[in-house]
Structure 1
């Protein structure tokens, strides 16, 4: 059966996407460990289908300022993926990579922004590579972009691009463990509906 929106996903399809999320975030944690030079583990990720406003609350509320790394996905899977980086997560990255930290996002300099962009890009590309390998897809990623803004504004990108198709998106959450700190991991994957159907078909779990 071809689904018309995210709400029509069956429990089997959501469980399969949850397994993909677990593998993808596990690979992202391994890549992050190599970049930071310390063991990085992630708790079992939670994959949920959320309405946009619910997703905004899930990542901290519409007026909370955060950094987000955004990549557009093309090829056999079209959509976007967003890595949300809260301040505590950012300071672990900056401390491990540059031996410094910040008190607020306004203090980010060009070198620090470049480091955050690189980390976000590695996490997203590692996740997407795991997904495309499991599903046998050819996927292309655009050059990543880093935005510092209120979370409500950051999520207007998927809303603007895919809000005409659905008011829901796929969220992947868990906690990274590094240097004794538990850091929230927030990834948002939003394939368009055609791509979501194609992905499910390639994974062999599309309901009849």
Structure 2
């Protein structure tokens, strides 16, 4: 008897008896109808399994997708599953996924997390991390969110602007100069660093921005 000829309730019972994610995924991928009916169950099961075995966060689908260039649609389903769980581990999943999205330049995932998840506990160094890696679009999204302190002293006590200057990220410097309030001491330090690096474009950008303010 073909599997799809069985009642949905019986198919669901069969699926809930499967424990290994590889088995579940293989069954759900059998055809489009099974996929549409039960694919979201995979993500809820992933959370339960990871919690039971106390697996590290990279084994959770939400974090794995952010870490491994997974598709936005899969991330949306994993986020929905996370929001339906009240466990302590699930509470931290969004923050862990956010960190990986910043590291890997996933501005699309960050937009989704900022709009649909509680990001109040995300580490304030996120902007610095995006700057160091040169993720321009991520920096743009983080700045526009208004959630983060743009003068947060991160690695080596450097602010995001100073990090951008150190790494020669011209467009990121442009984004940050337009967004932050910079005192005289910070202007001097920024100009000095850009001059030391012989980065004439950034020096000119800073001078123009200073004159405009």
Please report the TM-score for the alignment, with normalisation by the length of structure 1. 0.24
Q: Relative CO higher for 1 or 2, CA cutoff 8 Å, sep ≥ 6?
A: 1
Structure with the higher strand share, 1 or 2: 1
* Structure label with greater radius of gyration: 2
Structure with the higher helix share, 1 or 2: 2
Please report the TM-score for the alignment, with normalisation by the length of structure 2. 0.23
